[in-house]
């Protein structure tokens, strides 16, 4: 007797408690539910059907025995009235009794005066005579009567009270079950026999048939029923099993998928069937898909943000470094001669300007994000603005050996907008075009009305173009197709090399400006053939202005 006994008891208790609490898994519950429902249905059938069948068969037997009794009426009447000999009557009764019943003829005083000779086996042929003096042996030897058991007969006995009384008044009746004359339950029918005119009661014909036949039939029925129930139960179990699996398996798979998603594996998917669960699975897949996209987008934005900070920091630091590099020699007096000193100071001013532009661009982008509210709106004469902007860039273009022209097509509708900002956006586009177009190229600013109504301003160049894969991104802050260009100022090294071209904010500013004006900015470019940047600004609602 170690400490195991209480442990085992505890475990047993736990097991019992668990069994009482019911199965946990949906599968088991589903299965159990279906099986219990089928068992209940089968139980109802198995309990009700044999009873019903028994009832029906017994009623049928009673009816059949009554019919036999009625058919015998004429012969029995003739016998009881003395018109038919005993032998003939006896022969008739034997035929009437057949294999399955015994027949008595009772006279109006209640005495059994004749009975079928071939005792029914099933009734055992051994009546229990609990009444009347009983004649030892009969005039007939019954083949079914089993003489060894006494071969007792009813003939000469008198029926007991209610039966004799009923016979005497010509009342017919029937009963099923225990009978005083038999060891086994019987169906008994008594058919009264009257004189032909019905005025006188002559006696009755009794027919007894064992219930055993019915019981046997019902028993057989019950056996088949149980067999069928067993088969049905097995089939139901199988079907329930398959159904439960079909339901719980996808649920299980989806649960597993949801778990994986919860653990961060957004690539988890389930296969969907055609039913509602399949629909659910597909919805889950779509959800996972969306989550994955959101995650990727989030990652991209996060990477972008980091890059942005790195870019801003770098682009702020590099001019500062340059400035520092030029200030030191000025301070410690190593730069003695005047032209050198001047060149140093000019570089410092250029870098300071670049720094100022960068900061201004960043601030500008921030302000533009506020949208239309940040604009100083006036009616803008796009034609004049275009010509002025081109004029402003012409010296630079000439210096770079690029042909710069303005192409104003037709009267342009007025645009309500922030002139300085539209001018700056246009400047950014021209700036890029001139910057990327090689010597001998052409840059054209086209302005034309477009349906909408609005104005389209297009800057096209004969530059290198932009690879298709980069096109969607060039509008993003600090995005540059050729990353190395960004560091040009730095790679140039020490004093004398300016920070160079922009940092990738120009197009972002264009886009934000155009968006703030309710317009849109597009780009078409084919590598090697040049690019066309187009901004479309909606016309002011007042209608066309300017020369008609
Ligand atoms: N006209 C153009 N031809 C070729 N590439 C261009 C042109 N305009 C813009 N790009 C590309 O788009 C990028 C972003 O332009 P932008 O935002 O103005 O930045 P930045 O001019 O400072 O480089 C440029 O770095 C360049 O790669
Ligand atoms: Mg630029």
Q: Is the dihedral of CA 141, 145, 149, 150 positive or negative?
A: negative
**Looking at the structure, do residues 230 and 318 belong to the same domain, yes or no?**
no
Check if the beta carbon of residue 340 is closer than 8 Å to that of residue 346: no
In a domain, 297, yes or no: no
**Looking at the structure, do residues 68 and 164 belong to the same domain, yes or no?**
yes
Q: How confident is the model at residue 204 (pLDDT cuts 50, 70, 90)?
A: very high
**Looking at the structure, do residues 530 and 387 belong to the same domain, yes or no?**
yes
* pLDDT number for residue 384: 94
- Where is average pLDDT lowest: 38-47, 150-159, 163-172, 519-528? 150-159
User: 57: Cβ below 6 Å to ligand 1?
Assistant: no
Q: Model confidence over 89-106: pLDDT tens digits?
A: 988 988 888 777 888 899
**Looking at the structure, do residues 217 and 352 belong to the same domain, yes or no?**
no
Highest mean pLDDT among 114-118, 270-274, 524-528: 524-528
- Which DSSP state fits 107? E
Q: How confident is the model at residue 461 (pLDDT cuts 50, 70, 90)?
A: very high
Q: How confident is the model at residue 514 (pLDDT cuts 50, 70, 90)?
A: very high
**Looking at the structure, do residues 226 and 362 belong to the same domain, yes or no?**
no
* pLDDT number for residue 123: 47
List the domain range (segments joined by +) for residue 433: 309-538
Domain final residue, candidates 241, 265, 289: 265
Asked if pLDDT for residue 36 goes beyond 60, the answer is: yes
In a domain, 286, yes or no: no
Beta strand pairing call for 173-177 and 186-194? antiparallel
Cα 444–450–451 angle (5° rounding)?
170
Q: How confident is the model at residue 485 (pLDDT cuts 50, 70, 90)?
A: low
**Looking at the structure, do residues 228 and 346 belong to the same domain, yes or no?**
no
**Looking at the structure, do residues 219 and 347 belong to the same domain, yes or no?**
no
- CATH number, domain at 529? 3.30.565.10
Domain final residue, candidates 212, 238, 265: 265
User: 432: Cβ below 6 Å to ligand 1?
Assistant: yes
**Looking at the structure, do residues 57 and 124 belong to the same domain, yes or no?**
yes
Number of separate domains in the chain: 2
**Looking at the structure, do residues 249 and 313 belong to the same domain, yes or no?**
no
**Looking at the structure, do residues 219 and 343 belong to the same domain, yes or no?**
no
> What is Dmax (Cα atoms) for the chain?
173
Average pLDDT over residues 396-403: 95
Domain final residue, candidates 265, 287, 320: 265
Give the chain's mean pLDDT. 82
How far apart (Å, rounded) are the C-alpha atoms in residues 388 and 397?
A: 14
Ligand 2 centroid to Cα of residue 427, in Å, is 9
Q: Model confidence over 409-440: pLDDT tens digits?
A: 989 998 999 999 999 999 999 999 999 999 99
**Looking at the structure, do residues 91 and 191 belong to the same domain, yes or no?**
yes
Check if the beta carbon of residue 69 is closer than 8 Å to that of residue 189: yes
Report the residue among 432, 458, 465, 479 best suited for mutation to probe ligand 1: largest number of ligand atoms under 8 A from its CB: 432
Return the residue matching tokens 């005039």.
139
Q: How confident is the model at residue 32 (pLDDT cuts 50, 70, 90)?
A: confident
User: 502: Cβ below 6 Å to ligand 1?
Assistant: yes
User: 532: Cβ below 6 Å to ligand 1?
Assistant: no
Average pLDDT over residues 296-312: 84
* pLDDT number for residue 48: 87
Check if the beta carbon of residue 397 is closer than 8 Å to that of residue 354: no
Average pLDDT over residues 9-36: 73
**Looking at the structure, do residues 258 and 370 belong to the same domain, yes or no?**
no
Which atom of ligand 1 is nearest the CA belonging to 505? 17
Average pLDDT over residues 128-146: 33
Reading the block at residue 245, the tokens are: 């699996």
User: 482: Cβ below 6 Å to ligand 1?
Assistant: yes
How far apart (Å, rounded) are the C-alpha atoms in residues 507 and 463?
A: 17
Check if the beta carbon of residue 186 is closer than 8 Å to that of residue 193: no
List the one residue out of 372, 338, 98, 296 whose CA is nearest residue 208.
Answer: 98
- CATH number, domain at 173? 3.30.450.20
């Amino acid at each position: 007797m170690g400490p195991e006994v209480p442990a085992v008891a505890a475990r047993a208790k736990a097991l019992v408690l668990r069994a009482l609490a019911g199965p946990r898994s949906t599968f088991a519950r589903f299965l159990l539910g279906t099986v219990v429902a089928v068992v209940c249905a089968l139980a109802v059938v198995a309990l009700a059907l044999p009873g019903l069948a028994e009832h029906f068969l017994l009623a049928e037997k009673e009816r059949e025995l009554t019919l036999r009794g009625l058919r015998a009426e004429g012969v029995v009447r003739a016998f009881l009235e003395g018109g038919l000999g005993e032998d003939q009557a006896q022969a008739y009764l034997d035929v009437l009794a057949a294999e399955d019943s015994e027949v008595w003829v009772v006279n109006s005083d209640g005495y059994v005066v004749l009975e079928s000779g071939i005792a029914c086996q099933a009734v055992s042929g051994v009546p229990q005579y609990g009444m009347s003096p009983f004649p030892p042996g009969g005039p007939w030897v019954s083949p079914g009567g089993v003489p060894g058991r006494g071969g007792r007969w009813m003939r000469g006995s008198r029926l007991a009270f209610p039966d004799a009384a009923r016979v005497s008044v010509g009342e017919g009746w029937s009963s099923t079950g225990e009978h005083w004359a038999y060891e086994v339950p019987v169906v008994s029918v008594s058919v009264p026999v009257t004189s032909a005119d019905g005025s006188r009661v002559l006696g009755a014909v009794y027919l007894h048939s064992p219930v055993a036949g019915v019981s046997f039939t019902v028993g057989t029925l019950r056996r088949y029923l149980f067999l069928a129930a067993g088969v049905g139960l097995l089939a139901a179990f199988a079907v329930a099993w398959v159904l439960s699996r079909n339901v719980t398996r996808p649920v299980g798979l989806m649960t597993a998928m949801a778990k994986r998603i919860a653990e961060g594996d957004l690539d988890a998917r389930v296969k969907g069937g055609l039913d509602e669960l399949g629909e659910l699975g597909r919805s889950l897949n779509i959800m996972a898909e969306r989550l994955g996209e959101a995650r990727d987008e989030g990652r991209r934005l996060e990477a972008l943000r980091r890059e942005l900070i790195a870019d801003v920091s770098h682009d702020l630091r590099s001019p500062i470094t340059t400035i520092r590099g030029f200030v030191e020699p000025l301070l410690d007096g190593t730069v003695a001669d005047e032209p050198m000193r001047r060149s140093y100071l000019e570089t410092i001013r250029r870098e300071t300007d670049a720094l100022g532009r960068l900061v201004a661009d960043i601030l500008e982008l921030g302000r533009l994000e506020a949208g239309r509210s940040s604009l100083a709106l006036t009616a803008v004469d796009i034609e004049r603005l275009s010509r002025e902007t081109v004029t402003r860039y012409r010296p630079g273009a000439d210096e770079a050996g690029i042909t710069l022209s303005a192409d104003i097509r037709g009267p342009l509708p007025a645009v309500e907008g922030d002139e300085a900002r539209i001018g700056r956006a246009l400047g950014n586009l021209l700036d890029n075009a001139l910057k990327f177009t090689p010597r001998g190229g052409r840059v054209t600013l086209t302005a034309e009305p477009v349906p909408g109504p609005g104005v389209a301003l297009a800057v096209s160049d004969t530059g290198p173009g932009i690879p298709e894969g980069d096109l969607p991104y060039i509008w993003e802050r600090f995005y540059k197709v050729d990353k190395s260009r960004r560091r040009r100022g730095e790679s140039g090294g020490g004093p004398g090399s300016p920070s160079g071209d922009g940092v990738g904010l120009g197009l972002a500013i264009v886009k934000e400006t155009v968006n703030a004006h309710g317009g849109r900015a597009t780009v078409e470019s084919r590598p090697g053939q040049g690019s066309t940047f187009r901004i479309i600004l909606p016309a002011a609602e007042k209608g066309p202005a300017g020369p008609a």
